Structure 1
Amino acid sequence: MATIKAIAPAKVNLTLHVTGQRDDGYHLLDSLVVFTDVADRLSATIAPDLRISVSGPFSGGIPTDHTNLMMRAAEVLRSVRGVKQGATLTLEKHLPHAAGIGSGSSDAAVTLAMLAGLWGVPPLPATAPEVLALGADLPVCLRAPTPTRMSGIGDVLTAVPQVPECALVLVRPPIDVPTATVFKALAKKDGGPMEPLPEGLDFDGFARWLARQRNDLQAPAEKIAPEVSEAIAKLKSLPAVSVAGMSGSGATCFGLVKDMAAARHVARIVQVSQMNWWVAPAAVL
């Protein structure tokens, strides 16, 4: 029986400007999103019904019932496309969840793509309302691995110029920073938008551009979890790191470096100093 295998890459918000709030409570964002080669591993096989099994270093706490976002995505695709078949899904969880790198959304987006192929139906476009209903990060994750400007409530996706070759060091202290709590603590909700990403930047130009941007959720996250400040300070202290910041609503932080050799070097230094942090050198796709 045919099995489809795929990877679900970590989604990193290199910028995250909060530009407003709608009457329904949804925040308006402006963010440069990139994807990395650090990823979860998924598979799907035709079956009479839908089921999922989860393994891997971050499998703890991942539900295996209908509340799992991969299962919800599968059910949405099956309903919209009128599919009668099911599937056995597997998730090998290598990315920390609830960590600001969209791992659940990336898993669900890849599930939609895998199952469209497995079931022989048209995939759901990123603009489909059913996709956005699964979560604000789902539309942009359907564009992986292409770097994308994400705005609106996650529903406006714009192509950006090619990002220069670079790498990241991803660092997550062993803390949870609930997204709703971070947004609630945000003092200013009408900040300016992100500067457009210029064409043809080399690494140094890209680093200078990125250093001028913001993550408006970083300050409230640091107040809730001072470990975020500690992680960013550690990355900034290392000469190979050109820019350091927080991804999404946290608690994963990133250090921008020139290449994977630098990323591996920085990752070793951070890991030795903080053995209980999750640290991963990551190529930007």
Structure 2
Amino acid sequence: MAIEVFAPAKVNLALHVTGQRADGYHLLDSLVVFAGVGDEIRASQDDTLRLHIVGSEAAGLTAGDDNLVFRAARVFASDRGAAITLIKDLPVSSGIGGGSADAAATLKALAQLWGETVPTREAALALGADVPVCLNGPSPQRMRGIGEQLDPFVGLPGPLAMVLVNPRVAVSTPEVFKALSRKDNPPLEEVRDGFGTIPGLIAWLKRQRNDLEAPAIAKVPVIGEVLRYLTREGCLLARMSGSGATCFGIFDGQDAARDAARRLREAHPGWWIRETVVIT
């Protein structure tokens, strides 16, 4: 019997760059949530370790040794085999943690399949800065440091309806960080008692930022176009996630999100567009 683990899209509702270490790693302060859309990992017993990739976004990946799924499997330092299938629906290198979510889901699936303990946060961090938060998901979290400091973010109102849009343009994360004009920005504004309502959350989010948004738009102007489209559709807040190019719009209810996504697909049939809700 195959073990199936969902790998939800990671969305940075806010992302502040608060510093840079001597070794070059950037320090972050981010509110991370997970959406109801994503990839899926299926794992079953096998004599060798094999990976098969299918799904709407499978063409963007190869099943080589450098694939994050294989790298996650090797964290166990085991000679046991597994037949792993990655069902890929999230765009590659798109700012919503697709590869990190796949790696985290692989760690969970193989731990269950092989009767092992899920690897530590430190082992997950070696795979990438977003892997620990994906491993801890899907509940909302505040992520700090280089991705190793995680705290539950309680009091998020719901259901929070969202449209995710990727314009099918690649963004280089190192280049975006390199283009930052300032790397010692203020952290997130503290929240002590949660949010009673969605308007309260939106008001707080509007006082926060994604510090990577401006340099990403400067390098990939279509990101700004996506944000303008989402704003014209009447969303409560439009922002880029991660280092881009995926953007999100938070809408006043699932019907509004569904209608906006339909109109966006009609206007831009080549874009990747998904209506969803935040997992709380």
TM-score with structure 1 length normalisation? 0.95
**Amino acid in the other structure paired with 1:245:** R
Q: Distance in 1 between matches of 2:60 and 2:194?
A: 42
Q: Distance in 2 between matches of 1:162 and 1:53?
A: 39
The answer on 1:3 being equivalent to 2:2 is: yes
How far apart are 1:233 and its partner, in Å?
A: 0.8
1:218 corresponding residue in structure 2: 213
2:43 corresponding residue in structure 1: 44
- Look up the SS of the partner of 2:184 in the other structure: coil
The answer on 1:76 being equivalent to 2:71 is: no
Structure 1 unaligned blocks of 5 or more: none
How far apart are 1:201 and its partner, in Å?
A: 2.6
How far apart are 1:61 and its partner, in Å?
A: 3.0
The answer on 1:162 being equivalent to 2:161 is: no
Contact 1:101 1:252 in 2 (8 A): yes
- Look up the SS of the partner of 1:96 in the other structure: coil
Alignment of 1:132-171 (within 5 A): 132-165=125-158, 166-171=160-165
The answer on 1:209 being equivalent to 2:204 is: yes
After superposition, the C-alpha distances for 1:213-265 in whole angstroms (9 at most, x for unaligned) are 000000000000100000001111122x1000000000000001132222111
Contact 2:75 2:119 in 1 (8 A): no
How far apart are 1:199 and its partner, in Å?
A: 1.5
After superposition, the C-alpha distances for 1:70-108 in whole angstroms (9 at most, x for unaligned) are 11000112x1xxx33111100111110100000000000
Q: Distance in 1 between matches of 2:17 and 2:201?
A: 21
Runs of 4+ residues over 4 Å off in structure 1:
none
Alignment of 1:217-236 (within 5 A): 217-236=212-231
Q: Distance in 2 between matches of 1:280 and 1:202?
A: 24
Structure 2 unaligned blocks of 5 or more: none
How far apart are 1:274 and its partner, in Å?
A: 1.4
After superposition, the C-alpha distances for 1:23-45 in whole angstroms (9 at most, x for unaligned) are 00000000000001111122001
1:263 corresponding residue in structure 2: 257
How far apart are 1:48 and its partner, in Å?
A: 1.4
Contact 1:259 1:283 in 2 (8 A): no
2:52 corresponding residue in structure 1: 53
Contact 1:19 1:189 in 2 (8 A): yes
Q: Distance in 2 between matches of 1:267 and 1:234?
A: 11
The answer on 1:25 being equivalent to 2:31 is: no
Contact 1:169 1:280 in 2 (8 A): yes
TM-score with structure 2 length normalisation? 0.96
Q: Distance in 1 between matches of 2:36 and 2:126?
A: 27
The answer on 1:279 being equivalent to 2:278 is: no
1:194 corresponding residue in structure 2: 188
- Look up the SS of the partner of 2:60 in the other structure: coil
How far apart are 1:3 and its partner, in Å?
A: 1.1
1:174 corresponding residue in structure 2: 168
Q: Distance in 2 between matches of 1:184 and 1:137?
A: 19
- Look up the SS of the partner of 1:142 in the other structure: helix
After superposition, the C-alpha distances for 1:42-85 in whole angstroms (9 at most, x for unaligned) are 200111111100011111131212111011000112x1xxx331
How far apart are 1:203 and its partner, in Å?
A: 0.6
The answer on 1:114 being equivalent to 2:109 is: yes
Q: 1:100 aligns with which of 95, 100, 117?
A: 95
How far apart are 1:131 and its partner, in Å?
A: 1.1
Contact 2:17 2:184 in 1 (8 A): yes
Q: Distance in 2 between matches of 1:115 and 1:6?
A: 10
- Look up the SS of the partner of 1:8 in the other structure: strand
**Amino acid in the other structure paired with 2:92:** H
RMSD between superposed Cα atoms in Å:
1.0
Contact 1:51 1:65 in 2 (8 A): no
Contact 2:5 2:108 in 1 (8 A): no
